[in-house]
Structure 1
Amino acid sequence: SREPTAVDERWAGDMRLTCQCSGVLLGMLFAFDACAGTLDSARAVVWSILGVLFFFVLVPSRVTAGPGWLRSCWLGRDRVVRTDQLVCVRWAPGAALRVVLRDADGGRVEVDAEVLVANPALWNLLHSGVCGSLERGGFYRGQSVVRELSRRIDARAALAILQASGLCESEQV
């Protein structure tokens, strides 16, 4: 059992928002159907299933990390990758900006890039592992992805400093 030394600080808030959005959708579906006078048990079952499916689509992965590893847990499905033995880092296909990490043992984790950008402690542990993988020579694909993530994280940090000093009001990165 690996004790995490960094966690996604926004996960609990994202999970609350997921529950709220699913509840609001379900409530709206029931309310509109009831107002129309068409709500019956069959429709209530359909709306309930739709609300549950919406929840499962939105539920965030819980990302934790420690020295040499990164874990993503989604609905009880736990995936771990050895960051000190990475062989590949790539962007996942799709609309959301997600990073796929693969290690020499076949471990594979997919993480929302925004989780890494918003959590410097997670990024620092991942970056340390990437540096170790580069030193060992096994990391053969994905250095440009790591550089792009690093650029985004540096830009976010610079923007935060400028905003805190009052020199910038923009929220664009």
Structure 2
Amino acid sequence: MELPLVPQADRAAGVVHDTRWASEARAATGCAALLLGLSLTIEAGNGTLAPARALLWCALAALLFAVLLPSRVEAAPGRLTVRGLTTRRTVRTDRLTSVRWSDGVAQRLILRDAAGGRAEVDPRVLVANPPLWRLLEADARVCQRRGTLLRGGTELDRLARRVDRESAHAVFRVSGLE
């Protein structure tokens, strides 16, 4: 397993990034490009390609890209930032007041801090990136001990078990014991 290259400034600042974001962003780009390429090819083959139709297919491909592009998550001691296509949300993890698990179609871990900051993170990102999880968990546990984290201990424990389970499975897969 090859470790991703981390810029020197990020390493010095203790910033940890989602290591799978780049590949997922490439996949979103590829899906959108494939939709655009196939639709324009079919339109041209049928002789129905017109500027308005080409513009419509470009818009649909752009919409598909926007839907598929994952949020970019990065963490440093004391903060977690989630950047979407048009938004950027930062929460102070050293001043957390609430951690909530949203069980819907798309699971989300909703973090709130004392200053009113709010960020939503896909738990799969934390499971796939143990260094991100470790930074968040360390700060959240400090908040729990201080008494500022009023809600979310159960959610943190649930996610900790999931990260530990996935890490153990990864170790077994790599060692050939699975």
- 1-structure distance, mates of 2:104, 2:155: 16
- 2-structure distance, mates of 1:98, 1:28: 33
1:108 aligns with 2:115: no
**Match for 2:60 among 41, 50, 53?**
50
Tell me what 1:39 maps to: 49
* CA displacement at 1:92 relative to structure 2: 2.9
Q: Describe how 1:98-137 pairs up with structure 2 within 5 A.
A: 98-137=108-147
The answer on whether the counterparts of 2:96 and 2:113 sit within 8 Å (CA) in structure 1 is yes
Q: Secondary structure at the match of 1:89?
A: strand
- The count of residues paired between Structure 1 and Structure 2 equals 167
Tell me what 1:171 maps to: none
1:152 aligns with 2:162: yes
TM-score for both structures, normalised by structure 2: 0.88
- 2-structure distance, mates of 1:134, 1:65: 19
**Match for 2:99 among 86, 89, 105?**
89
Q: Secondary structure at the match of 1:96?
A: coil
TM-score for both structures, normalised by structure 1: 0.90
* CA displacement at 1:164 relative to structure 2: 2.0
For the aligned residue pairs, the C-alpha RMSD in angstroms reads 1.5
Q: Describe how 1:56-71 pairs up with structure 2 within 5 A.
A: 56-71=66-81
The answer on whether the counterparts of 1:88 and 1:142 sit within 8 Å (CA) in structure 2 is yes
Tell me what 1:9 maps to: 19
- 2-structure distance, mates of 1:4, 1:52: 34
The answer on whether the counterparts of 1:85 and 1:104 sit within 8 Å (CA) in structure 2 is yes
**Match for 1:166 among 133, 155, 176?**
176
Q: Which amino acid in 1 is paired with 2:97?
A: V
In structure 2, list runs of 5 or more residues that go unmatched: 1-9
Q: Deviations over 1:81-137 (max 9, x none)?
A: 011111111123531221111111100011111110011110000001111110110
**Match for 2:149 among 136, 139, 153?**
139
* CA displacement at 1:36 relative to structure 2: 2.2
- 2-structure distance, mates of 1:28, 1:143: 49
Q: Which amino acid in 1 is paired with 2:42?
A: F
In structure 1, list runs of 5 or more residues that go unmatched: 169-173
